[in-house]
Chain A
Amino acid sequence: TQLLEQSPQFLSIQEGENLTVYCNSSSVFSSLQWYRQEPGEGPVLLVTVVTGGEVKKLKRLTFQFGDARKDSSLHITAAQPGDTGLYLCAGDSQGAQKLVFGQGTRLTINP
Protein backbone atom coordinates (compact mmCIF):
# COMPACT_ATOMS: atom_id res chain seq x y z
CA THR A 1 0.00 0.00 0.00
CA GLN A 2 1.39 3.39 -0.96
CA LEU A 3 1.46 5.98 1.78
CA LEU A 4 2.01 9.70 1.76
CA GLU A 5 3.30 11.27 4.95
CA GLN A 6 2.36 14.92 5.14
CA SER A 7 3.89 17.29 7.68
CA PRO A 8 3.23 19.25 9.70
CA GLN A 9 -0.37 18.26 10.33
CA PHE A 10 -1.13 21.55 12.06
CA LEU A 11 0.53 24.91 11.58
CA SER A 12 -0.43 28.28 13.00
CA ILE A 13 1.69 31.29 12.07
CA GLN A 14 1.47 35.05 11.84
CA GLU A 15 0.59 36.95 8.71
CA GLY A 16 3.66 37.75 6.65
CA GLU A 17 5.67 34.70 7.67
CA ASN A 18 6.83 31.99 5.29
CA LEU A 19 6.05 28.28 5.62
CA THR A 20 6.72 24.95 3.97
CA VAL A 21 4.57 21.83 3.95
CA TYR A 22 6.14 18.50 3.10
CA CYS A 23 4.76 15.38 1.51
CA ASN A 24 6.96 12.28 1.59
CA SER A 25 6.70 8.68 0.48
CA SER A 26 8.88 5.67 -0.14
CA SER A 27 6.91 5.04 -3.33
CA VAL A 28 7.27 6.62 -6.73
CA PHE A 29 4.27 8.53 -8.08
CA SER A 30 3.53 9.27 -11.70
CA SER A 31 2.16 12.64 -10.64
CA LEU A 32 1.32 14.52 -7.49
CA GLN A 33 -1.45 16.99 -6.85
CA TRP A 34 -1.90 19.64 -4.18
CA TYR A 35 -5.39 20.61 -3.08
CA ARG A 36 -6.85 23.18 -0.73
CA GLN A 37 -10.09 22.46 1.09
CA GLU A 38 -12.35 24.86 2.96
CA PRO A 39 -14.69 23.58 5.68
CA GLY A 40 -17.82 21.97 4.24
CA GLU A 41 -16.52 22.03 0.68
CA GLY A 42 -14.74 19.68 -1.67
CA PRO A 43 -10.99 19.95 -2.32
CA VAL A 44 -9.95 22.42 -5.00
CA LEU A 45 -7.01 21.51 -7.21
CA LEU A 46 -4.10 23.93 -6.89
CA VAL A 47 -1.43 22.28 -9.01
CA THR A 48 -0.29 19.03 -10.60
CA VAL A 49 3.40 18.16 -10.85
CA VAL A 50 4.50 15.39 -13.16
CA THR A 51 8.22 15.63 -13.89
CA GLY A 52 10.91 14.86 -11.29
CA GLY A 53 12.49 18.11 -10.12
CA GLU A 54 9.62 20.17 -11.47
CA VAL A 55 8.87 23.52 -9.81
CA LYS A 56 5.60 25.35 -10.31
CA LYS A 57 4.59 28.73 -8.97
CA LEU A 58 1.11 30.00 -8.26
CA LYS A 59 1.43 33.59 -7.02
CA ARG A 60 2.95 33.26 -3.53
CA LEU A 61 2.81 29.44 -3.60
CA THR A 62 5.73 27.38 -4.88
CA PHE A 63 5.36 23.66 -5.47
CA GLN A 64 8.24 21.28 -6.01
CA PHE A 65 8.31 17.62 -7.04
CA GLY A 66 11.33 15.65 -5.87
CA ASP A 67 13.82 14.37 -8.42
CA ALA A 68 12.86 10.77 -7.66
CA ARG A 69 9.13 11.60 -7.72
CA LYS A 70 8.70 10.34 -4.16
CA ASP A 71 8.22 13.64 -2.37
CA SER A 72 6.90 17.13 -2.82
CA SER A 73 6.76 20.43 -0.99
CA LEU A 74 4.55 23.47 -0.88
CA HIS A 75 6.13 26.77 0.13
CA ILE A 76 4.04 29.83 0.88
CA THR A 77 5.73 33.22 0.97
CA ALA A 78 4.35 36.08 3.05
CA ALA A 79 1.32 34.12 4.24
CA GLN A 80 -2.00 35.92 4.44
CA PRO A 81 -5.16 35.14 6.45
CA GLY A 82 -6.83 34.12 3.18
CA ASP A 83 -4.36 31.23 2.92
CA THR A 84 -6.01 29.57 5.93
CA GLY A 85 -7.36 26.13 5.09
CA LEU A 86 -6.64 22.42 4.82
CA TYR A 87 -3.91 21.61 2.33
CA LEU A 88 -3.81 18.09 0.94
CA CYS A 89 -1.22 16.37 -1.18
CA ALA A 90 -2.27 13.40 -3.27
CA GLY A 91 -0.14 11.02 -5.27
CA ASP A 92 -1.20 9.25 -8.40
CA SER A 93 -0.07 5.62 -8.08
CA GLN A 94 1.50 4.35 -11.24
CA GLY A 95 -0.90 2.31 -13.32
CA ALA A 96 -3.70 2.29 -10.75
CA GLN A 97 -5.20 5.71 -11.53
CA LYS A 98 -6.14 6.12 -7.88
CA LEU A 99 -5.13 9.04 -5.72
CA VAL A 100 -3.41 8.37 -2.41
CA PHE A 101 -3.94 11.26 -0.01
CA GLY A 102 -1.68 12.57 2.70
CA GLN A 103 -3.13 13.31 6.14
CA GLY A 104 -3.48 16.99 5.35
CA THR A 105 -2.03 20.14 6.87
CA ARG A 106 -4.42 22.41 8.67
CA LEU A 107 -2.98 25.89 8.21
CA THR A 108 -4.05 28.93 10.19
CA ILE A 109 -2.69 32.37 9.38
CA ASN A 110 -3.28 34.85 12.16
CA PRO A 111 -3.69 38.53 11.30
Chain B
Amino acid sequence: GAVVSQHPSRVICKSGTSVKIECRSLDFQATTMFWYRQFPKQSLMLMATSNEGSKATYEQGVEKDKFLINHASLTLSTLTVTSAHPEDSSFYICSTRSGFEQYFGPGTRLTVT
Protein backbone atom coordinates (compact mmCIF):
# COMPACT_ATOMS: atom_id res chain seq x y z
CA GLY B 1 0.00 0.00 0.00
CA ALA B 2 0.85 3.66 -0.22
CA VAL B 3 3.22 5.18 2.31
CA VAL B 4 2.21 8.48 3.86
CA SER B 5 4.27 10.56 6.26
CA GLN B 6 3.33 13.50 8.43
CA HIS B 7 5.40 16.14 10.14
CA PRO B 8 5.52 17.00 12.92
CA SER B 9 4.20 14.05 14.90
CA ARG B 10 3.53 16.27 17.89
CA VAL B 11 3.30 20.01 18.30
CA ILE B 12 2.44 22.28 21.20
CA CYS B 13 1.62 25.88 20.45
CA LYS B 14 0.23 28.88 22.26
CA SER B 15 -3.27 30.14 21.73
CA GLY B 16 -3.42 32.65 18.88
CA THR B 17 -0.47 31.29 16.93
CA SER B 18 -0.54 29.30 13.69
CA VAL B 19 0.71 25.78 13.11
CA LYS B 20 1.54 24.06 9.84
CA ILE B 21 1.27 20.29 9.40
CA GLU B 22 2.82 18.57 6.39
CA CYS B 23 1.56 15.43 4.70
CA ARG B 24 3.72 13.64 2.14
CA SER B 25 2.90 10.78 -0.19
CA LEU B 26 6.21 8.95 -0.36
CA ASP B 27 5.73 6.36 -3.07
CA PHE B 28 3.16 7.66 -5.50
CA GLN B 29 1.79 10.89 -6.85
CA ALA B 30 -1.40 11.92 -5.11
CA THR B 31 -3.67 14.35 -6.90
CA THR B 32 -6.02 14.14 -3.95
CA MET B 33 -5.29 14.00 -0.24
CA PHE B 34 -7.72 13.99 2.66
CA TRP B 35 -7.46 15.68 6.05
CA TYR B 36 -9.19 14.19 9.07
CA ARG B 37 -9.51 15.21 12.70
CA GLN B 38 -9.94 12.77 15.55
CA PHE B 39 -10.91 13.74 19.09
CA PRO B 40 -10.10 11.41 22.00
CA LYS B 41 -12.10 8.20 21.98
CA GLN B 42 -13.90 9.19 18.80
CA SER B 43 -13.79 8.16 15.18
CA LEU B 44 -12.27 10.10 12.30
CA MET B 45 -14.07 13.13 10.92
CA LEU B 46 -13.26 14.30 7.40
CA MET B 47 -12.33 17.98 7.39
CA ALA B 48 -11.43 18.62 3.77
CA THR B 49 -10.29 17.14 0.50
CA SER B 50 -7.08 18.61 -0.83
CA ASN B 51 -6.73 18.81 -4.61
CA GLU B 52 -3.38 19.36 -6.31
CA GLY B 53 -3.28 22.66 -8.11
CA SER B 54 -6.75 23.79 -7.07
CA LYS B 55 -8.73 24.82 -4.04
CA ALA B 56 -9.54 22.37 -1.30
CA THR B 57 -13.08 21.18 -0.72
CA TYR B 58 -14.19 21.64 2.88
CA GLU B 59 -16.80 19.61 4.74
CA GLN B 60 -19.79 21.35 6.19
CA GLY B 61 -18.96 23.14 9.42
CA VAL B 62 -15.21 23.34 8.79
CA GLU B 63 -13.94 26.92 8.54
CA LYS B 64 -11.82 27.25 5.44
CA ASP B 65 -10.21 30.48 6.68
CA LYS B 66 -9.12 28.79 9.88
CA PHE B 67 -7.85 25.55 8.38
CA LEU B 68 -5.81 26.55 5.35
CA ILE B 69 -4.94 23.75 2.97
CA ASN B 70 -2.32 23.94 0.26
CA HIS B 71 -1.62 21.11 -2.17
CA ALA B 72 1.18 22.57 -4.23
CA SER B 73 2.69 19.34 -5.54
CA LEU B 74 1.68 15.75 -6.17
CA THR B 75 3.49 14.60 -3.05
CA LEU B 76 2.84 17.33 -0.51
CA SER B 77 -0.24 18.79 1.13
CA THR B 78 -0.14 21.13 4.10
CA LEU B 79 -2.73 22.04 6.70
CA THR B 80 -2.25 25.30 8.59
CA VAL B 81 -4.31 25.86 11.70
CA THR B 82 -4.52 29.63 12.00
CA SER B 83 -5.11 31.53 15.25
CA ALA B 84 -5.23 28.27 17.13
CA HIS B 85 -7.44 27.89 20.19
CA PRO B 86 -7.43 25.17 22.85
CA GLU B 87 -10.53 23.62 21.24
CA ASP B 88 -8.43 22.99 18.11
CA SER B 89 -6.35 20.53 20.12
CA SER B 90 -6.82 17.20 18.38
CA PHE B 91 -5.19 14.44 16.38
CA TYR B 92 -4.92 15.44 12.73
CA ILE B 93 -4.48 12.68 10.16
CA CYS B 94 -3.99 12.89 6.41
CA SER B 95 -4.53 10.19 3.83
CA THR B 96 -4.07 9.43 0.18
CA ARG B 97 -6.15 7.29 -2.09
CA SER B 98 -5.17 4.54 -4.50
CA GLY B 99 -8.12 2.97 -6.26
CA PHE B 100 -10.63 1.84 -3.67
CA GLU B 101 -8.16 2.02 -0.85
CA GLN B 102 -7.16 4.89 1.37
CA TYR B 103 -3.88 4.95 3.28
CA PHE B 104 -3.33 7.09 6.34
CA GLY B 105 -0.39 8.97 7.74
CA PRO B 106 0.77 8.44 11.33
CA GLY B 107 -1.05 11.55 12.54
CA THR B 108 -0.07 14.82 14.24
CA ARG B 109 -1.02 15.49 17.82
CA LEU B 110 -1.74 19.21 18.22
CA THR B 111 -2.00 20.71 21.69
CA VAL B 112 -2.92 24.36 22.00
CA THR B 113 -2.19 25.90 25.40
Contact = CB atoms under 8 A, between A and B. Distances in A.
Nearest to B94: A42
Given A41-B106, A42-B106, A101-B44, A48 B93 contact: no
A42 B6 CA distance: 10
Nearest to A4: B43
Contact of B102 (A33, A103, A104): A33
B32 interface: yes
11 contacts: A33-B100, A33-B101, A35-B104, A45-B1, A45-B101, A45-B103, A90-B102, A98-B34, A101-B43, A103-B43, A104-B43
Nearest to B4: A42
Interface of B: 1, 4, 6, 32, 34, 41-46, 49, 91, 93, 95, 97, 100-107, 109
A31 interface: yes
Interface string A90-110: 101000011101111010000
- Interface SS of B by simple majority: strand
Given A40-B107, A103-B43, A97 B97 contact: yes
A28 interface: no
A92 B107 CA distance: 21
B30 to A, nearest CB: 13
A42 B46 contact: no
Contacts of A90: 102
B100 A31 contact: yes
Contacts of A98: 34, 46, 49
